[in-house]
Structure 1
């Protein structure tokens, strides 16, 4: 099995797992909103807690794998947006559950982790849209070598 094909399979499984957890969450949420079950919202969010646990394990494994080749700080810098994103997602879920179950704080205070997560996502996407100098120079070099005619070894 080729590398590209195995990557496609793993992406398919990840997407399938994400959709499955989302569908289970939506089913539980609909049952709770319709009054069929009277569970705590922390239990309704159980599928997302499980998904977050898997994300945390993945980030830790990636940090350990990268630590073999780089310093700890370098691998943390590469995955800092993932770590902050997961932590903000967990904080958002906790604040939503606290608001829905216990009405602990006001709505605008509950939304602070969500807003911070959105700002962090905008920054992450914005930084990854700008090509790095090394990758742009490699693309430019490949473009220049493609435009040059092949050199003949026989001199005429």
Structure 2
């Protein structure tokens, strides 16, 4: 063979063929594309499984064996992806909205006593079954504001209670209001308050109490100490009502009540300290201040112990 004849042809072929580096880049690009497609397919499958499970819960179907664990892992995986920032929006606009529409469509055309009974039954199912299941499915999302519980309750109020003729049914003569309706109204009323609103309310009551206290200490008013502590009584009464409502809900759903019982005991110790202190200042009793402060010291000791357990708990490390 004449090399001088084939050399130009070989050179042209090499110049027109891709280099080894180009081949490597194209292969890596194709591999990355396949990986991205597989990742998107897995993400879509996870979204669909969560969507179907939530819809099934609202349709009164039970979760399968080990399905709750699989859903928890799916939620954790989604939170780590680029879609994690849109998870709360998707939960509100898609899952919760669709589920509440399912519940609403079954009762929206009822009126009068039949509406009250149907709403009570729907609320019992939602509060005892759906709400606890949603909190379990989206457990990895706990700790974010607003919580899954708050979002679900607000959607129940906005989509169901505000879109039925509940006011007309409640105001009818001889209307028999089921206890579940009263619980529903109390719970939905309490969940309306955001964290900022609760802080503002606490600040207002504290400021009012401090103003009355300064006026009393300066001798500007001659009110009883029990009257000076009126903002404290009102605030503690509201806390007690909200706590009792939540404890009643936990009793019906079978959830652990130990933490709520501790909150109730702490509130009772605070009220006991304030009542005893007012009685001592009004000279209605001659108890030593050491005994008067026993409930306060017990409350602070319990709070420190709870804080220590919370800080040292393996779940927080």
Give the TM-score category using the shorter length: 0.7 to 0.9
Q: Runs of 5+ in structure 1 lacking a partner?
A: 140-156
The two structures have a TM-score, normalised by structure 1, of 0.75
Deviation at residue 68 of structure 1 after TM alignment? 2.5
**Correspondent of 1:112 among 286, 289, 294:** 294
* Residue matched to 2:249: 65
**Correspondent of 2:267 among 75, 82, 86:** 86
RMSD value over aligned CA atoms? Answer: 2.3
**Correspondent of 2:231 among 40, 47, 59:** 47
The 5-angstrom pairing of residues 5-154 of structure 1 reads 10-70=194-254, 74-75=256-257, 77-102=258-283, 104-132=286-314, 135=315
* Residue matched to 1:150: none
Greater C-alpha Rg: 2
Q: Which runs of 4+ in 1 moved over 4 A?
A: none
Deviation at residue 5 of structure 1 after TM alignment? 5.7
- How many angstroms apart in 2 are the aligned matches of 1:111 and 1:80? 22
Q: Could you list the per-position Cα deviations for residues 18-63 of structure 1 after superposition, in whole angstroms to 9, with x for gaps in the alignment?
A: 0000000000001111111101111000000011101111111111
Taking CA–CA contacts closer than 8 Å with sequence separation of 6 or more, which of the two structures ends up with the larger relative contact order?
1
Mapped contact 1:96–1:110 kept (Cα < 8 A): yes
- How many angstroms apart in 2 are the aligned matches of 1:69 and 1:78? 15
Mapped contact 1:88–1:113 kept (Cα < 8 A): yes
Mapped contact 1:81–1:124 kept (Cα < 8 A): no
The two structures have a TM-score, normalised by structure 2, of 0.38
- How many angstroms apart in 1 are the aligned matches of 2:229 and 2:291? 20
Q: Runs of 5+ in structure 2 lacking a partner?
A: 1-87, 93-144, 151-192
Alignment: residue pair count: 131
